[in-house]
Amino acid sequence: TKEFHKGVERLLDLARETGPVAIMCAEALWWRCHRSLIADYLKVRGIEVVHIVDANKIELHPFTSAAHLIDGALSYAG
């Protein structure tokens, strides 16, 4: 959506101005959260996404199982 793209651009602007940024929500597991959609979108754009699992563990973002690249565009269809 237009709002999604605007929000992601604000996040990227902040990262360009200040360095690495983090987004958080109450859902602890990133793959059960809207953060997974944001992470897929950023990864398609070539941006490294790292999930902070706990104080001692991080994970590089893999595409979610529903994500598909079609002609270089991210899709969740079928």
Residue spans per domain, the chain: 2-75
> What's the confidence (pLDDT) of residue 21?
94
> What's the confidence (pLDDT) of residue 78?
66
State if pTM tops 0.85: yes
Q: Which residue has the tokens 């079609």?
A: 70
> What's the confidence (pLDDT) of residue 28?
86
Listed as ranges, residues in the chain with pLDDT below 50 are none
Checking phi first, is residue 54 left (phi over 0); if not, alpha (psi -120 to 50) or beta?
beta
Cβ–Cβ < 8 Å for 23, 38: yes
